[in-house]
Chain A
Amino acid sequence: MLEINQLNIQLGHHSLNYHRQIPTSAIVTLQGVSGVGKSSLLLTIAGFIKAQSGSILWHGKDISQLEVEQRPVAMLFQENNLFEHISVLQNVRLGLVNISDQEIQSSAEQLQIEDQLHKMPAQLSGGQRQRVGILRTLLRPEPLLLLDEPFAELDHQTREITADWVADMARSNHKTLILVTHQQEDVEKLATQNWLL
């Protein structure tokens, strides 16, 4: 269970408040107009933004004072998820534990990016880059996954394939997933809870 208790974040002159419980293995979609603080919430859970007050509990343990590296969180940013100077495959391997190249290859096939693994990130389209980021985040060992607009750059068909794969992976590995989306179809396809900010 992830418990967000009376969490207050100060962004410039804006004060944002959150209070919510998310059961383990749930898939939660976050929706709301731009600037309402969806990404800020994810960044706070991941440890990149320090909250003014409140706490974040994971299985009863307060993680809000922990460093980024110590939190049980894997996050996909809206952009800048890849190191541009190393290959796609080298990028994917970062942050993974005990995952063979075969497993990476097989997941990449499902996401239709198997031919892109040996290229450099600059050679990929926006949608391909996003799927590489998704692939790595879902293969990471952390139990709590945060995805910030993961399907934003994908066409309709690729979006469906990718969303299905994300849902399958999250469910079969008992991951708790929070993702930001503006699309109602993502909510219908994936969410066990929808959180409207």
Chain B
Amino acid sequence: MLICTVTLLSFYGLIAFNGQGADLELLSDSYFHSILIFSIKQALLSALISTVLAWPIARAIYYYPNLLFKRAFLSLALLCFVLPTLVLITGFVSLLGRSGIITPLLGPDWNLYGLHGILLAHVYMNLPFAIRAFHAQLQNIPASSWMLASQLKLSGWQKIFLIEWPVLRANFNLTFGFIFILCFNSFAVVLALGGGPQSTTLEVAIYQALKYDFNIGEALTLAWSQLLIAGTFFVLLYRSNSVSWLSKDTRGDYQLPCSSSWQKIRYGLLYSCTLIFMLTPLLALLPGVFAADYSRSIIGNILEALSLTLVLGIICASVAIALAYAIMLPIRQSILQGKTRKTLVLQWLANHSLIAPAMVLSVGLYILFLPLIDLDSVGMIFVVILNIMMVLPFAIQQIRARLLQYDSDYAVLSQSLKLSTRQKLSIEWHYSKSVFFSTFALVIMLAMGDVAIFSIFGSDQLKTLPWLIYQYAGSYKINEASLASAVLLLLYATLLFNLERAKQHA
């Protein structure tokens, strides 16, 4: 109810701000068309490059399981996906920006800002996600399939088309669609690396219309366009299953076809290049960290922003997990009772906030409350509420499988033993606590990395660490941005380490 109310209020803001409607003339403006085309183009290209490249890399990891640091590689892949975009952008700027470490090698025409930079950052974040998704899927190939393939003496291509592709096919489309939506809704990357009006997406244009031009009519038109496109794609995607990319590593007794020495060399090379690609922007932070100004004010700013980020993250993650559990109760009940339609409605309500991008919801609430309250003084409350809404579907998705598995294995036994509520909760907690811990770590990372919501409701007095990084980078203090990024990176790496550990015990 609470979550639906926030969405409804936001939509009310989008529909009925003081009678001033959306600026429909904008729809026939060439500025709008160029933004729309660029938004779709960059999202399509990012999704295509990420998924096409991920397949051979996932195969390399799968067919050559003894690769050095493979587990660390998969953890790093997860880190790249959840890493706050501004950390990554700082790394890319240090590496490939105007005075970047390897910029002199790229010739005088090189420019990080624009489509190049956006694609690079999007592929950096999403390629590892796709690798993990495909690798997890390949691991589902039963040993018996490989035994049969060996016995039938299938060729390499036959194995790909008869065994690999059928397993990957559904996941391939899904991963492509998911990355498309993520990139279409991408904010911080385009804001920082867009480099001008010719490389602007709807999301950034909304922010600029609202915060710089204060053109509410334009912001409304852009927000509705964003919602329509992202929402349609999401609904299409939601009809399929979810992408399994955080699932437990199901290594074990699968019997893989033998790889030749050449294949092993090829797999090893592909793996090493990907590892270097993932590590370089992070290592590029180091020179900036060493050269940063360690004055009391800079350290104070970073620590202050870090504390705020942590507090925000902990509040959002705790509330989101509690809400996710509460939301799952009626869903589980209706599944146990075999009420399919009710289950679908409840699940849709639980995940509905995925349809509306953070920026769209933020704009709705901002416009609604702007004439009513002083948003500068209570903006942080909105930051918390909207962040909870944004991470809630992820929290639900993470705990859902484990709770439903529990019900499927033990609901009848639990009922038969006539356990008290306390006993039920205690047994359920023992069963699912590792998933709750890993979900907490994931959700806190997602909440702490937010920039879009903060850009609308945040204030200059209270800054989160990602926003501070953005401000340092925006005022060309790249060394300080590197230092702040390194602090955030360290925090994420620690959380990720705990997440992976919890997952191993799940």
Contact = CB atoms under 8 A, between A and B. Distances in A.
Interface of A: 46, 48, 68-69, 74-75, 77, 80-86, 94-95
Interface of B: prevailing SS: helix
13 contacts: A48-B412, A68-B416, A74-B416, A75-B416, A77-B413, A80-B409, A81-B413, A82-B413, A83-B413, A85-B427, A86-B427, A94-B417, A94-B427
A83 B418 contact: no
A62 to B, nearest CB: 19
Contacts of B431: 83, 85
B419 interface: yes
Interface string B420-456: 0001000100110000000000000000000000000
Contact of A69 (B409, B418, B427): B418
A188 to B, nearest CB: 29
Decide if the interface of chain A is mainly helix, strand, loop or mixed: loop
Interface in B85-127: none
Interface of B: 409-410, 412-413, 415-419, 423, 427, 430-431
Contacts of B430: 85-86
Given A80-B409, A83-B427, A85-B430, A94 B419 contact: yes
Contacts of A68: 415-416, 418
B433 to A, nearest CB: 10
Given A69-B415, A75-B416, A85-B430, A94 B423 contact: yes
Nearest to A133: B413
B408 to A, nearest CB: 10
Nearest to B424: A94
B20 to A, nearest CB: 56
Contacts of B423: 94
Given A83-B427, A85-B431, A86-B427, A46 B416 contact: yes
A95 B417 contact: yes
B413 A80 contact: yes
A46 B418 CA distance: 12
A80 B431 CA distance: 15
Contacts of A82: 413
A69 B419 CA distance: 8
Contacts of B410: 80, 83
A96 B410 CA distance: 18
Nearest to A68: B415
Contact of A95 (B409, B412, B419): B419
The 3 closest A-B pairs by CB, nearest first: A95-B417, A69-B418, A68-B415
A160 B196 CA distance: 85
Contacts of B415: 48, 68-69
B427 A95 contact: no
Contacts of A48: 412, 415-416
Nearest to B416: A75
A180 B430 CA distance: 33
| Residue of A69, A74, A94 with most chain B CB atoms under a 10 A cut-off | A94
Given A68-B416, A82-B413, 11 more contacts: A46-B416, A48-B415, A68-B418, A80-B412, A83-B413, A84-B409, A85-B430, A85-B431, A86-B427, A94-B417, A95-B419
Nearest to A81: B413
Contacts of B416: 46, 48, 68, 74-75, 77, 95
Contacts of B419: 94-95
A80 B418 CA distance: 16
A176 B184 CA distance: 66
B412 A77 contact: yes
A84 B408 CA distance: 13
A134 to B, nearest CB: 14
A195 to B, nearest CB: 22
Nearest to A97: B418
B504 to A, nearest CB: 15
B423 to A, nearest CB: 7
B333 to A, nearest CB: 13
Contacts of A83: 410, 413, 427, 431
A48 B418 CA distance: 13
A95 B419 CA distance: 6
Contacts of B409: 80, 84
Q: Tell which of B417, B427, B431 has the most Cβ of chain A within 10 Å.
A: B417
Contacts of B412: 48, 77, 80
Contacts of A74: 416
B435 to A, nearest CB: 12
A85 B415 CA distance: 17
A76 to B, nearest CB: 9
A48 B415 CA distance: 9
A141 B412 CA distance: 19
Nearest to A93: B423
Nearest to A94: B417
A105 B164 CA distance: 53
A69 B430 CA distance: 23
A156 to B, nearest CB: 29
Contacts of A86: 427, 430
B376 to A, nearest CB: 50
Nearest to A142: B418
Which of B412, B413, B430, B431 is most buried by chain A, counting CB atoms within 10 A of its CB?
A: B413
A82 B413 CA distance: 8
A84 B409 CA distance: 10
Nearest to A136: B417
B415 to A, nearest CB: 5
A77 B417 CA distance: 11
A174 to B, nearest CB: 20
A175 B275 CA distance: 67
A121 to B, nearest CB: 12
Contacts of A85: 427, 430-431
A94 B430 CA distance: 14
A80 B413 CA distance: 7
B505 to A, nearest CB: 11
